[in-house]
A and B are shown apart, each in its own frame.
Chain A
């Protein structure tokens, strides 16, 4: 599957290097699950990481390093660690695997909270560097203009939304920084479900209630 508005190289490189906050890791892993070109670009950055590691300096090991590792390996039965990668064959999984794992359930079991005008959200978690949430917007419904302090990443999982002249459908990622004032409108036809990650630099913990408040008030 290819998409119209793909995840950018900056996010992919950050993911490959392991430098992103947890919420951003989640949206990148989810976006890559929906976009084979992004998967290829991510492989390229990871190959770069491998090449840098291969070519970099070496660090001295502790004297008993190898013995320790072999002891641990031999202490476990050889076959007890073979894990069949559990694939849950689904007719039409709306949520890619990393998201299903983050939620611990399927879309049907998401615990939505109404935030007004038919819009629902489910906060998935976050830390001081970013928060991830699912948003469900009824077809044709406009999200009122909302500013953000940091950057907002919106990945469409189901349905589509229109923002200005651009249409974002499943797998598309919109990046809106704090200078963008935008008004996404869910496309007609079906409910639009998105994964949204917002930076909340510095004082997120104190901001959680405020963010919720902000959404409740729209």
Chain B
């Protein structure tokens, strides 16, 4: 068994290797780590295990085929995979391609700036740590809202909290995540932060 890397940057390097030279060893490691997570995510958001397995396999084939489009300055591997899995699931359900925002006019840079990539990967690690460290109650609510397990009003019914409280708790949790990310980042990097609090 090869060593299992733990760091976002390592995963990003591997995915880049898959895109640049069809690196099968790197793909195998990515598969072992992410395929079970993608499948769990798909089950969590409503697919039955069999459909989730098929959808996950589609996703992993897409990962191989589109690896050359992955830009470590724009997303972590987990985020990139998450968006592919989400879109694939919706396409399957709708039998039509999901609308996605227009790509930025300047497009992916031919040579992603190393500094940008590193900054984004570090921001994302802070976000992941912040997610892991959220108080249980807040994390639970964010997950439920995010995975669509329950609508806001259903969460209210289940927890006995009024709707306004639910919404402000979710907002609070999101704000905490943003603060956690901004706390030691001097500059604004790569789109993970926002100046606007809606």
B128 on the interface (CB 8 Å rule)? yes
**Residues of the A chain whose Cβ atoms lie less than 8 Å from the Cβ of B98:** 22, 25
B94 on the interface (CB 8 Å rule)? yes
The 29 sampled A-B contact pairs (Cβ below 8 Å) are: A8-B198, A13-B146, A17-B146, A18-B45, A19-B148, A26-B99, A30-B99, A30-B101, A37-B194, A40-B194, A43-B75, A43-B190, A44-B178, A46-B75, A48-B142, A48-B177, A49-B86, A53-B78, A53-B81, A55-B128, A57-B40, A58-B36, A59-B40, A59-B49, A61-B36, A61-B56, A69-B31, A69-B35, A76-B65
A91 on the interface (CB 8 Å rule)? no
Contact residues, A22-69 vs B (CB, 8 A): 22, 25-26, 29-30, 32-33, 37, 39-44, 46-62, 65-66, 68-69
**Nearest-Cβ distance from residue A81 to partner chain B, whole angstroms:** 4
Classify chain A: how many residues form its interface, as a range: 35 or more
Given contacts A44-B193, A53-B82, 19 further A-B contacts (CB under 8 A): A22-B98, A25-B99, A26-B99, A37-B194, A41-B194, A41-B198, A44-B192, A48-B174, A50-B83, A51-B128, A54-B76, A55-B131, A58-B37, A61-B36, A61-B39, A72-B57, A73-B61, A87-B103, A96-B102
- Interface residues of B, CB < 8 Å — how many? 76
Nearest B residue to A95 via CB reads B102
* CB pair A46 B53 closer than 8 Å: no
Q: Which of A97-105, A111-119, A142-150, A158-166 contacts B (4 or more CB under 8 A)?
A: A97-105
Q: Using a CB–CB distance below 8 Å, which chain A residues touch chain B?
A: 6, 8-9, 13, 16-19, 22, 25-26, 29-30, 32-33, 37, 39-44, 46-62, 65-66, 68-70, 72-73, 76, 78, 81-82, 85, 87, 96-99, 101-102
